[in-house]
Structure formats: C-alpha cells, structure tokens
Amino acid sequence: MSSSASDEASAGASTSASPPASDPPPLAALFLIKFDLKVGYTIVWKRSLPGVELEGVVEYKSLPSGLHNVKEDLVYFVHEHYAGLSAFRSASAPDAERGAHLVAVGVLVPLSHGRLGRSWLHASELLAFSSDLVANINRTAGLEEYWTKHHQVSDVSEAPGRFSPTSPSVLNEPPRSSDGIRRQSARARALSNVSTIAPHDASLPAFHPALSMLSYMDTFGPLVYPLHRAALLRKRILFVVHPPVRQYCDFVYDLSVLASIPSSTADLLPAEANLIHRYAPLFTVGVHDIAFLESLSSVEELSREDQSDAAIARGWVACTTDEVIGMKTSLYDVLVEMPQKNDYSPSQKQWPKMKRPDGKEIRASQRDARRFLTLCKSVHLAKHSLSAEEAAVDSPGVDEAEGLLRRALGNTGDEGEDDPAIYEDRLVEPLTWSALAYSGFLWWASAGEKDTVSEEEVDLDCDLFGDLPGLMARWSSKLGLPRHPSTATGSSAKVTGEAVPAEAHAAVVAYFHRLTSQTIRVLAEAIEAEEEHQQDDGGELVVNSDDLGRIGLDVWSDTDRTFVQDFVRLYFARDAVVHGAGIECCGIKIC
C-alpha cells in the first residue's frame, strides 16, 4: 500500500499509541452552538481539554454564511493543530418565536491521525445529536455522556507549531539518498506501487470524504487536470461555493490527497523538497479567517531558504461561502467558482470556472480534453463489457453510470464523437494555429491515415488509467454518482451507515499519483542525463517536446510549458528551458 495515500484512502493511519482505525478518534473538544437572529452565535454547551480555546472561533467556523438556507449539513474546518467537524441542522420555529432554530454540534480532534484526524467517524453521532437538539436545545445529557466516553485523556499537544494541516505521521518520509541504485529502484516502483493503494476487499467508513472521488471527477470534467497541476505547484486554491458545503469540503480533501507526492517517487526529488510533499487542506474558511489567510504566503513569495515553515511553503486549498474573500485577490492564486445548483436544469451541465487573481480564466488544454474523453469512453466500454448478470443487477442505475460520458460529450448523445471541441470554449483552450497547421500537414503527409501520435497518446493514457475505467463503470451507479451536481446534496456516496468498497475511489487516487510520478520520473531522468554530460550542474535544464509528451502534457500549450518550468523550479531548484512542438521545413522552423 502506497504510504502517500494509504492513510487517506483508508480509515486513517494509526500508530502504536493510536486507537484502532475503526474507532472514533479521541476528542479535544465537544460543543453545541445556537444561532439566534437577535443574539447571533452562542456556544450553549461546551467541553474541552485545558488550553483548547473555543470562544470566538468554532462558532463562526461551524456555521458558514448561508447555511440557514439548508436543512442540514456537515462542515469540516481546521483550527490550529486540530481538525473540526460540525453537524448543522435547522428547523422551523413556532409561530410565536418566528424564524427558525439553527444549531450545530461539533468536535475538535488532533490532526495527528491525518488530514481530518478521522473526525468523520464521529459524523453519524453528531448528526443524531443535532437532530435531537434542534427540537430541544436543553437535551445535553447525551453530549455529556459522549464527552465522558470519547474525550482524550492524554496531552493533545502532539502536533507542534501554530498550524499543522497534515499529521506528523503522514509527513514522515524515508531518509533520502543520492545513491544511484536507490534512485533507479525508486523509478521502477514509481508506476507500480501506487496502484496497490487499496486491496479489493478494503472498505471506507460511510462518511469518509474520499467517497466523493467519483463525484469530484464528474463535477470538474477536464478541469481536474489544471486543478491537479495548480495543486502540484502548491498554489493557494479557493473554491467559492454555495451551501450545503459538505461536498465541497470533500472536494478539498480529494484535491489535497490527489496532489500529494507519492512516496514511490519521493526519492527522485532533492531532500530540500520534502517540505512541499504534502498539500494543506484548510476546508471551510470565512471572513473571520481573512487575517489568517493573509499570513500564509504563496510559494512564489518564498525563497527556498525561507521555507522553514512547512505549512506556509506547502500552499493550501479551501472552500468558502463568503464571496467577499474571492474579491480579495491577494489571498489566493487560483479561484474556482462553483455554479449555483438552481442556475440550471438537470439536463444542462454548468462547469465550474477557474480564474487567476487578474480574472483571466484557466482552462483545460486540448490534451486534457482528449485524455478525459478517452477516460469517458473507456468507462463506457467497460460498462457494456460487464457480464449479463452484472448488467442485469446494475440496470436500474445505467443512466447514472453513463452520465459521466454524456456530460463529457456535451449531452449530444453522440458517443462516437472524439473531438475536444464538443466542450464549451471557456472550458478548454482553443486550438493554436501551430497545432492546426501541424494537424493539416500531418493529414496531407499521411494521406488521411490515422495520426500515430494520437494512438501513442491513447496508449499512454490507458496505461496510466490502470483499472480506473472498469471500477468507475462498476461502482458509479452503486455509489450514487449523481446525474448532475444539482442532484447531489452531499457526498456522492449513499450513506447507509455501513462501510463502502474503497477500490473505485482508491483507483482515482492511484491514477493521479501515476500522473505525478510520471512527471517526476521524466524530469528526474532529464536532469540525470544532463548531469552525465555536464560537469557543472545546477544550470538550465532543457526539456524538449518528447519529454512533454511522455509527461502527458500538451506540446502546443504555452500554459503546459510554463507548468514544467514552475515545477522544475519548485521541486528541483533549477531553471528550465522548455521547447514545445513546431513545424520545420528543410531545417527551418515555420511555426
């Protein structure tokens, strides 16, 4: 099992001093919050360990703006070195009181068990408490019993520093070595170890955030690739969302896991890069967190010598319901605007928008669009290759299982379409003149035969997909992959209180870790090859179009070339000259 994802694609990592992964983590705090239109936020009841401050913090984090418009929700957040989870519930108040009753029951747990400290294992109990307390705020005897049973007895100051969004155990990496044999063995493991994230009989608890992986792919479509690249560069990514927030908190978790550096390729990176192996998920943030966000510098503002604070150097991803934060462009590097669910009909797909602080949209490349279409078609083929018995069992959910394909094809119903132009213009970068000229020239030179380069792209993509298409086809309908985000009120998983098979969700993690491993491996090989021919290392690295193709990037995209330059600078502390594709005639470059 890959250590980069094992503690996140399972119930959580455990140490010798930790409780079993199936047991809820010990509590540092348990609290009950009420919102009143006249009084505002009030902590009605609370219990906490010494030194754990709640007043002026948890009431705002537990009740994001706009939450009064929904009936219930689960909210994740981070407070210092604790993970927070609150269960929100609203109910109509009697006519004499007017308005509504709004309550939230929440916990804080140490971050020593992973990105969320396995706090989701308390979710079902918190939801039950909130349902009971919204009717009668004074029924706190159950809370007292729960605190007595689950509060942490030992000292909770095990996570050092003012801010630790990932656990120390997760951050532990094997010692690095410059030994060539070890580097070669790491390369050999790069694309194999990550595929063993979860055995076929592994399962996830019903409220595990990773159960949203299929919905994450479904929601963002080709944009999963520029999102992944931005996260690898440790950009500050802010999702502007609308309640309920549970699914978006899950997406924050998903991206932080997908963008972690697999341990199988960590040895290929310089030791100095270990500070950025993990990506910090902040989950829900609001206007009261603005000062905190201002204190977190972007990666670009830090030299390598300044990166002593791992949390700052790592970048972050968060979601917010406060649009005012999106107006403060100095706080983030990438803004992702999620569409409102009532802005479109279920038959009309509205994609999220990715923007830079200057307002310029970030789009998927033509290569990203082709790759996502290949995935969708692979899912479609895998779905129809299931045995007759399996197909009969799954038949009630066929529309859901194939919804990903239809949405990817722009609801045209043409499953044979293979042109990225089927996506909206704002979703995918336009075809460059150079790429268009090359395509025309190649067609003329090959007398209209199929492009060999395209076949190589498909082969590379299918190798990286691994078992993902088949698992997505098998589990998408069973796990409740929605036909459209408008039908999803929370996580994509159907919550039954039972454990859910992990293989499909782990396959998504494995796929993106293969993409990351491929990028690191290709660039590490280029650096090693250059060092073998040059005595003076540390100069500019030359990356050619073949390298870009092997990484799986668009050889015609300026954005992808910039990504490689930034990646080499961030992880290898080198400058890079990246050459894209071009057309030459008689040794003269035409375009």
Q: Sign of dihedral through CA atoms 352, 354, 360, 362?
A: negative
| Nearest-angstrom CA–CA distance, 575 and 508 | 32
| Nearest-angstrom CA–CA distance, 546 and 184 | 21
pLDDT at 55: 92
Q: If you search the block for the tokens 């250059």, which residue do you land on?
A: 530
User: 552 is written with which tokens?
Assistant: 């799986």
pLDDT at 313 over 80: no
Q: What is the mean pLDDT of the chain?
A: 76
Closest CA to 461 of 514, 420, 424, 526: 514
pLDDT at 381: 75
Number of H helices, E strands in the chain: 23, 17
pLDDT at 86 over 80: yes
Closest CA to 316 of 329, 330, 297: 297
Closest CA to 109 of 211, 15, 24, 6: 24
Contact between 168 and 6 under an 8 Å Cβ cutoff? The reply is no
SS (H, E, C) 390-416: HHHHHHHHHHHHCHHHHHHCCCCCCCC
| Nearest-angstrom CA–CA distance, 277 and 260 | 6
pLDDT at 405: 45
Q: Assign 498 a pLDDT band (cuts: 50, 70, 90).
A: low
| Nearest-angstrom CA–CA distance, 308 and 100 | 48
| Nearest-angstrom CA–CA distance, 178 and 507 | 31
Contact between 7 and 15 under an 8 Å Cβ cutoff? The reply is no
Burial 353-387, CB ≥16 within 10 A → b, else e: bbbeeeeeebbbbbbbbbbbbbbbbbbbebbeebe
Tens of pLDDT along 135-172? 999 999 999 999 999 998 765 444 434 444 544 333 23
CA separation, residue 438 to residues 369, 429, 589 (Å): 18, 17, 12
Q: If you search the block for the tokens 């503690």, which residue do you land on?
A: 7
Q: Assign 225 a pLDDT band (cuts: 50, 70, 90).
A: very high
pLDDT at 300 over 80: no
Q: What is the pTM of this model?
A: 0.82
Q: If you search the block for the tokens 């039972």, which residue do you land on?
A: 498
pLDDT at 117 over 70: yes
Burial 141-173, CB ≥16 within 10 A → b, else e: eebeebbeebbbeeebebbeeebbbbbebbeeb
pLDDT: which is higher, 483 or 307: 307
Which backbone phi and psi does 58 adopt, to 5 degrees? -70, -30
Instruction: Please enumerate in sequence order all residues whose Cβ is within 8 A of that of 501, keeping only pairs 6 or more positions apart, or say none.
Output: 202, 203, 204, 475
User: 216 is written with which tokens?
Assistant: 């994450």
Tens of pLDDT along 396-429? 333 433 445 445 444 434 444 455 555 556 788 8
CA separation, residue 29 to residues 129, 143, 203 (Å): 15, 11, 28
Contact between 55 and 43 under an 8 Å Cβ cutoff? The reply is yes
Tens of pLDDT along 246-291? 999 999 999 999 999 999 898 999 988 887 888 999 999 999 999 9
State the alpha helices, DSSP H only, in 385-538: 388-394, 398-401, 403-408, 433-445, 452-465, 468-475, 503-533
pLDDT: which is higher, 100 or 247: 247
| Strands (DSSP E) found in 95-159 | 100-110
Contact between 248 and 77 under an 8 Å Cβ cutoff? The reply is no
pLDDT: which is higher, 498 or 267: 267
Closest CA to 557 of 435, 458, 461: 435
Which backbone phi and psi does 75 adopt, to 5 degrees? -120, 125
Q: Is residue 62 helix, strand or coil?
A: helix
Range in 67-76, 153-162, 367-376, 493-502 the model is least confident about: 153-162
pLDDT at 532 over 80: no
Contact between 376 and 417 under an 8 Å Cβ cutoff? The reply is no
Q: Is the peptide bond before 94 cis (omega within 30 degrees of 0)?
A: no
pLDDT at 5: 41
User: Which residues partner with 576 through β-bridges?
Assistant: 541
| Nearest-angstrom CA–CA distance, 167 and 114 | 5
pLDDT: which is higher, 178 or 41: 41
pLDDT at 16 over 50: no
Q: If you search the block for the tokens 């706090």, which residue do you land on?
A: 119
